[in-house]
């Protein structure tokens, strides 16, 4: 029965060769493995011819053991460990068979069925192990394939995500640039609203400057006339008038000057420099500007302007053009609201916009603050949109008339930049009150 060992050895070379067929080390081993197969066949024939079966059994076992030990030593065949290991029972059984049949032929003959059986079982064992190991290897192969598939997928996803992230970053940059542009546009838009008001506000003081200087010239002629008549008393009275007029000219000149300066400040990019400022001055100035701005655009517009400005208001440290912008926005909104209401309300409706300032004294140890209230009796804010009005780009005005940035910018200026507060009291149909608090 010694052919089992040879057959096993032969099959081992065949199996290894097949398994290696698609691996990179195949070229290295192909010849060796094929040659081994032939050599094993040759040895079998040779041994069969020269020796009796007992010796052959032992030789076959030793040959197989040699092959196994070689394979075990060689790192290239590490993955065949299970298969190699499965051959050991056959080696042992064949060896024992050979030795027993050589030394105790009678005993062997008596039990030969058992010995043959053992050899068949050992031989079969190789197949069983081979089958399972093949299955395992297939499984491992499958897992490896899946793994590389997944790795490719992960790599793909990573590239996609990186690309998306870059795109998002670009989009964010673009958005930030657009936002900066929009803020600038909003400033320009509000400047546009102001232009007419500014023109009116400058025209008035200029008229006074012209009128008072003209009349003063006439008065001087008169004074000369009176002096030549010798009426010093009248001349002195006229001189007093002239002096008053010059003061008025100066006053109105300064008024125009202040308006031009305010306009320049408004259009200039904010310097972000806080300076002690009297809120009353800004409030009064923008109140009038906003009114005349709207008035110039729409001749039918009119409203009662009420200003209750606390004369003892402390100065606050603010960026004047920014807070001015907020106030302008609130005034424009208030005028817009009363104007909207006037369109639908009964003829007795009196549009009214009020601005008031006052000091809020802290209770104990806290900081004082000042409060600016802008109140109108206009159309009011519907409850449904109350929490939206501070959002950027939210506007109820027709397309093209509002940027939707006014209140959102106001919020940024008052709350974020000045640590203040904006509260809104509004009832639909009755009016709105914006309350701005700024810490002193």
Task: Beginning with the edge strand found earlier in the chain, give each strand of the sheet holding 431-439 in spatial order.
Answer: 304-309, 352-360, 369-376, 431-439, 421-427
- What residues from 283 to 322 belong to the interface with other proteins (CB under 8 A)? 291-292, 295-296, 299, 302-305
| Residue 278, φ and ψ in degrees, nearest 5 | -90, 110
The smaller minimum CB distance to other proteins, of residues 160 and 218, is found at 218
Sign of CA dihedral 337, 343, 344, 349: positive
The CA distance from 133 to 40, in Å, is 24
211 near other proteins (CB under 8 A): yes
Which positions ≥6 away from 304 have C-beta within 8 Å?
Answer: 350, 351, 352, 353
Among residues 235 and 319, whose Cβ is nearest to other proteins?
235
Nearer Cβ to other proteins (10/287): 287
Residue 316 bridge partners (DSSP): 277
Of 223-262, binders to other proteins (CB under 8 A) are: 241, 244-245, 248, 252
Cβ nearer to other proteins, comparing 137 with 195: 195
Nearest to other proteins of 21, 299 (CB atom) = 299
- Specify the DSSP class assigned to residue 87: T
The nearest distance, CB 169 to other proteins, in angstroms, is 52
Question: Considering only residues 339-368, where is the footprint of other proteins by CB under 8 A?
Answer: none
207/199 Cα distance (integer angstroms)? 12
Nearest approach, Cβ of 279 to other proteins (angstroms)?
20
**Which CB atom, from 305 or from 440, has the smaller least distance to other proteins?**
305
Angle at CA of residue 50, ends 45 and 51, nearest 5°: 100
Contact 93, 141 (CB under 8 A): no
Evaluate whether 5 touches 91 at the Cβ level (below 8 Å): yes
Q: Which stretch binds other proteins (CB under 8 A): 1-9, 161-169, 187-195, 209-217?
A: 209-217
Burial class (CB in 10 A: 0-12, 13-18, 19+), 137: middle
Q: Residue 435 burial (CB < 10 Å; 0-12/13-18/19+)?
A: middle
Applying CB under 8 A, the site for other proteins has a residue count of: 27
Name the minimum Å distance from CB 357 to other proteins: 18
Binding letters toward other proteins, positions 150-169, x by CB under 8 A: --------------------
Binding other proteins (rule: CB under 8 A), the pick from 159, 169, 185, 203 is: 203
> 250: closest CA among 242, 260, 239?
242
Choices 92-100, 201-209, 268-276, 334-342; region in contact with other proteins by CB under 8 A: 201-209
Q: How near is the Cβ of 432 to other proteins at its closest, in Å? A: 19
CB of 244 to other proteins, least distance (A): 7
Q: Does 336 bind other proteins (CB under 8 A)?
A: no
Candidates 41-49, 186-194, 207-215, 338-346; binding stretch for other proteins (CB under 8 A): 207-215
Q: Which long-range contacts (CB under 8 A, 24 or more apart) does 121-124 make?
A: 121/89, 121/93, 122/4, 122/89, 122/90, 122/92, 122/93, 122/94, 123/4, 123/7, 123/8, 123/90
* 215 is a site residue for other proteins (CB under 8 A): yes
In the complex, the smallest distance separating the C-beta of residue 367 from other proteins, rounded to whole angstroms, is: 35
Return residues touching other proteins (CB under 8 A): 200, 203-204, 206-208, 210-212, 215, 218-219, 222, 241, 244-245, 248, 252, 291-292, 295-296, 299, 302-305
């Amino acid at each position: 029965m010694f052919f089992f060992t040879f057959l096993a050895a032969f099959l081992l070379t065949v199996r290894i060769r097949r398994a290696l067929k698609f691996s990179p080390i195949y070229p290295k081993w192909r010849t060796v493995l094929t040659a081994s197969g032939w050599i094993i066949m040759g040895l079998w024939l040779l041994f069969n011819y020269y020796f009796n079966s007992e010796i052959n059994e032992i030789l076959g076992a030793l040959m197989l053991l040699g092959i196994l030990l070689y394979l075990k030593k060689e790192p290239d065949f590490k993955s065949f460990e299970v298969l190699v290991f499965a051959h050991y029972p056959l080696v042992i059984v064949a060896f024992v068979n050979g030795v027993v049949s050589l030394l105790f032929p009678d005993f062997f003959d008596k039990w030969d069925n058992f010995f043959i059986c053992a050899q068949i079982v050992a031989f079969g064992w190789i197949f069983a192990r081979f089958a399972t190991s093949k299955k395992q290897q297939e499984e491992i192969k499958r897992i490896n394939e899946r793994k590389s598939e997944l790795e490719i997928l992960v790599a793909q996803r990573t590239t996609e995500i990186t690309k998306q992230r870059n795109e998002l970053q670009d989009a964010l940059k673009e958005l930030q640039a657009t936002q900066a542009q929009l803020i600038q546009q909003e400033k320009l838009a509000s400047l546009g609203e102001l232009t007419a008001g500014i023109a009116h506000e400058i025209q008035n003081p200029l008229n006074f400057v012209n009128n008072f200087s003209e009349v003063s010239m006439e008065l001087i002629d008169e004074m000369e006339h009176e002096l030549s008549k010798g009426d010093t008393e009248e001349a002195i009275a006229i001189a007093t008038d002239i002096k008053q007029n010059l003061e008025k000219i100066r006053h109105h000149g300064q008024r125009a000057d202040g308006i031009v300066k305010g306009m320049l400040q408004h259009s200039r990019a904010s310097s972000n420099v806080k300076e002690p400022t009297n809120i009353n001055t800004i409030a009064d100035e923008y109140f009038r500007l906003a009114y005349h701005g709207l008035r110039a655009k729409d001749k039918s517009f009119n409203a009662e302007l009420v200003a209750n400005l606390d004369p003892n208001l402390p100065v606050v440290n603010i960026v004047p053009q920014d807070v001015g912008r907020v106030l302008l926005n609130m005034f424009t909104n208030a005028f817009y609201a009363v104007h909207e209401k006037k369109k639908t309300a009964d003829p007795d409706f009196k549009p009214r916009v009020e601005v008031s300032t006052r000091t809020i004294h802290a209770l104990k140890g806290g900081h004082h603050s000042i409060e600016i209230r802008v109140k109108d009796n206009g159309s009011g804010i519907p409850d449904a949109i109350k929490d939206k009005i501070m959002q950027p780009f939210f506007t109820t005005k027709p397309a093209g008339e509002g940027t939707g940035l006014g209140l959102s910018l106001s919020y940024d200026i008052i709350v974020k930049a000045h640590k203040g507060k904006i509260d809104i009291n509004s009832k639909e149909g009755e009016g709105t009150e914006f309350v701005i608090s700024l810490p002193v």
